Amino acid sequence: MSNLHMMKNPWAVVKTTVQCQHCSNVYPARKINCFDIRLWPEGREVLDQGEFFHPVCPQCGAQAEISYPSRYIDRELGIAAVLTPGIENQDTDELLTRMNRNLEGLAPGGMEHRAVGNFYAMAEQLRIHRHNLNDKAVQLLKPLIIGNLQSQGFEVWNGFFMGLLHPEGAEQLESTMYVSTQQNEDTVYTEDVYQFDIYLTNGDIIPQGINDTAYQIVMNILKSKGLEEDDGEFHLYDLSWAIDVHNSLRQN
């Protein structure tokens, strides 16, 4: 855990305690209630690494996972995300209505506002906007990848965007799903690959990728449904939302 990061952002840090699930040791930890990048540029790195959400027990070395309300405000990248742990299991419409009511007259223009249910999703928003991608399109890629894994017998909890890979050659990459709309499928191997960490229900993480053609396809889905643009209000775009969109396409 970096003391340098903490010294530059003391106002956003609160102390807490964690009980180790392995050895029952109770030890101090620190929570970050706001990643305001204008005030704390190093906050991007901290959020991306996730070190403050996974404290390590000083007695046995076991890593814990903690979740708590937090915010991520990044005016440069144009994203503001509010973390409400487990929001997907609550009255989402009521919570979003309250958020948007509080938003009126307070938020700077040109920002996308997102509600997220865990730190993985909040860090994902950072990565998505760092690459200037449409976060709704990124969400729509997940059912394609997860469906492919489920057909192989994997039990999946969720998946989160990790970054873009720019292939140096035209070789097929391992653990990558390729979608093609052309007769010459070899051309897809030169496309950018959207990389995800897919979390299985047993806790394992499987890195998976999908090519840019798939991204362009889901962007066309957004356009066809009038969902490409953002209205500036808080929205929850997650895996469940993406599955619902894909299911609606089958019903039409």
Q: 3-61: per-residue pLDDT in tens? A: 434 445 555 788 899 999 999 999 999 899 999 999 899 999 999 998 888 999 999 99
**DSSP output for 36-82:** ETTT-TTHHHHHHHTGGGS-B-TTT-PBP-----EEEEETTTTEEEE
Strands 112-116 and 79-83: parallel
**Contact yes or no for 88/121 (Cβ under 8 A):** no
Angle at the Cα of 120 (from 208 to 159), degrees rounded to 5?
30
Residue 84 burial (10 A CB sphere; 0-12, 13-18, 19+): buried
Residue 106's pLDDT band, with cuts at 50, 70 and 90, is: low
At 74 the pLDDT is 95
Closest CA to 31 of 65, 81, 79: 65
